[in-house]
Amino acid sequence: MKQGKTDILIVGGGLGGTAAALAALRLGKRVILTEETDWLGGQLTAQAVPPDEPVWIEEVGATASYRRLRNLVREYYRNHYPLTEAARAEPFLNPGLGNVSRLCHEPRVALAVLESMLAPYRPSLQLEVLLQHRPLRAETQGDRVLGVELVSEVTGNHIFIEAPYILDATELGDLLELAQVEQVIGAESQAQTSELHALPGRADPLDQQAISWCFALDYLPGEDHTIPKPQDYAFWRDYRPGFWPGPLLAWEDVHPISLEPRFRDIFGNPVVTQHGGDFWHYRRIFYQGNYPSGRYPSDITLVNWPQIDYWLGPLVGVSEEEKQRHLRGARQLSLSMLYWMQTEAPRHQGAYGYPGLRLRGDIVGSQDGLAKHVYIRESRRIRAEFTVLEQHVGVEARGRLQGAEIFPDSVGIGQYRIDLHPSTAGRTYVDVASWPFQIPLGALLPLRVENLLPACKNIGTTHITNGCYRLHPVEWNIGEAAGALAAFCLEQHLSPRQVRSSPDSLEDFQRLLTQTLGLELAWPEAYRLTPSPGF
């Protein structure tokens, strides 16, 4: 078996893992970054989801490197696409003009930008990237993780990599399980956390948020791009969730905040209203109106809609066989939704079916048309020195207290509603307001293990607070802070726990974050006291 050594090993090349690598590289450390797919970028690329961001993202609420990522995406379109003069001159160019984000764009563009940000560190081998590598085993000694064994999905070859610091940036917190790091999965009970929206009865580890297998579409009226009928189509066509107003494959869904039924079809209303607008404009990632008339035949939209949320079973805490069954189920649900739209969906003109909807696998880099990886909203979470609870950030849970809890050990900030999708326990949405919040360093520190750090959705949150700490810019900030922490500890010969417990060391680390890396650790007062709005 091949052997490798580095300063910092990062397992998982999503947004958190990539941000962690960039931070550590900028601080002079050698990094090996591994990823199970052949694309870096996670939810922004392989999972194909346009960024869910704070409403004030253009002014505040992003690290300097995340802001650079966003600016480079816009520059990529200006440099490589035949934009109209009006679009080119738009300072806040939204390539897809989607309703969900101020920067809806194609996954491949995000991939190109992320690769460009990493490129300067490759020639010297300060950075090594192992794509299509999956972790198999972690070797531990006492409270330390010595290294990780990975297998190449292409060659089948194994490699064991040692590092003084190892970061888990996998989508499901796989390294936590392999290294036997104390962890939590699923939903806690009110008896455990005293959270307003936690389970009133017992905790349920198998109560986890829905997953979604996303895909991209364009629309060519008059053409027929109907896919073969999916194997499970009959099941999904007849499936009626108990908390849904009717069949899942329909234009009626549930408003996530009011929980009232609502009607949204694919093309009926491009304007955002209290019901959310239509689906075509919701996550549109390519807007043909940004280009000369006739240059492109169609917009392109990204399907990450309520109808493809799969909640029939979890991916964590079950056997590998059951996990694979649920992954297949998620794929079948997405394909069934597409087939229904192409063949049976009511059209607003009175007919049925949109056969001109065309699956765009080229946009998401796959042969079968679906994203390379399923969209994951919830993973294993460390049992942390400090766990963020709903009463730290939730507007209703904090009662008369104005603003989120202020954390002296802040390593970043974020803003989003507590947004939980329907769960594998058959529960409907939990979508409640939160205050703009901070990311406490204590939530990045496992209770026992000294040199393994979480770098994405696997920090010390609960099932509830994961709902606002899981989005794109927050995951990036978490990863960047984790990568910087590992580099700082190597340089100062300190443990992460010592950094947090020593006021002087904590101050030095926070100064590094703000002055060297450009992280924001506190919200300006005008923003801090403004609750997150609903969509």
Q: What is the CATH number of the domain that holds 132?
A: 3.50.50.60
pLDDT for 5 beyond 90: yes
Q: Which range of residues forms the domain containing residue 289? A: 211-364
Is there a domain that residue 114 lies in? Answer: yes
Based on the structure, what is the number of domains in the chain? Answer: 2
In this structure, the answer to whether residues 496 and 388 fall within a common structural domain is yes
Q: What is the per-residue pLDDT for 392? A: 98
44-58, 141-155, 263-277, 330-344: range with lowest mean pLDDT: 263-277
| DSSP codes joined into one string, 260-308 | -EEE--SSS--S--TT---STTTSEEE-GGGS-TTSSS--EEEE--GGG
Hey, what are 156's tokens? 């089948």
Q: How far is CA 39 from CA 364, 365, 366, 518, in A?
A: 10, 9, 11, 26
Strand partners, 213: none
Is there a domain that residue 261 lies in? Answer: yes
Is there a domain that residue 206 lies in? Answer: no
Tell which residue, 385, 437, 434, has the closest CA to residue 407: 437
Decide which of 364, 396, 419 is a domain's last residue: 364
- Summarised one tens digit per residue, pLDDT across range 468-477 is 999 999 999 9
Q: Which stretch of DSSP H or E encloses residue 114?
A: helix 107-118
Tell which residue, 515, 381, 388, has the closest CA to residue 441: 388
Q: What is the per-residue pLDDT for 194? A: 98
pTM to 2 decimal places: 0.97
In this structure, the answer to whether residues 219 and 182 fall within a common structural domain is no
Is there a domain that residue 197 lies in? Answer: no
- Summarised one tens digit per residue, pLDDT across range 401-424 is 999 999 999 999 999 999 999 999
Torsion angle (degrees, nearest 10) of CA 238, 239, 244, 248: -80
Q: What is the per-residue pLDDT for 276? A: 61
CB 334, CB 370: distance < 8 Å: yes
Strand partners, 262: 253
Please give the Cα distance from 234 to 227 (Å, whole number): 15
Strand partners, 357: 219
Tell which residue, 109, 99, 108, 98, has the closest CA to residue 74: 109
Is there a domain that residue 90 lies in? Answer: yes
- Summarised one tens digit per residue, pLDDT across range 7-44 is 999 999 999 999 999 999 999 999 999 999 999 999 99
Is there a domain that residue 497 lies in? Answer: yes
Please give the Cα distance from 520 to 261 (Å, whole number): 39
Is there a domain that residue 400 lies in? Answer: yes
User: In the predicted model, what is the mean pLDDT of residues 75-98?
Assistant: 97
Decide which of 364, 387, 403 is a domain's last residue: 364
In this structure, the answer to whether residues 122 and 239 fall within a common structural domain is no
In this structure, the answer to whether residues 328 and 436 fall within a common structural domain is no
Q: What is the CA radius of gyration of the chain?
A: 22
pLDDT for 272 beyond 70: no
- Summarised one tens digit per residue, pLDDT across range 512-522 is 999 999 999 99
User: In the predicted model, what is the mean pLDDT of residues 167-185?
Assistant: 98
Is residue 451 left, alpha or beta, with left meaning phi > 0 and alpha meaning psi from -120 to 50? alpha
pLDDT band at 268 (very low <50, low <70, confident <90, very high): confident
In this structure, the answer to whether residues 360 and 272 fall within a common structural domain is yes
User: In the predicted model, what is the mean pLDDT of residues 3-7?
Assistant: 97
Question: What is the pLDDT of the chain when averaged over all its residues?
Answer: 96
In this structure, the answer to whether residues 233 and 347 fall within a common structural domain is yes
Q: What is the per-residue pLDDT for 350? A: 82
Decide which of 364, 387, 405 is a domain's last residue: 364
In this structure, the answer to whether residues 272 and 413 fall within a common structural domain is no
In this structure, the answer to whether residues 159 and 224 fall within a common structural domain is no
Is there a domain that residue 372 lies in? Answer: no
In this structure, the answer to whether residues 281 and 394 fall within a common structural domain is no
In this structure, the answer to whether residues 174 and 252 fall within a common structural domain is no
In this structure, the answer to whether residues 142 and 276 fall within a common structural domain is no
In this structure, the answer to whether residues 154 and 241 fall within a common structural domain is no
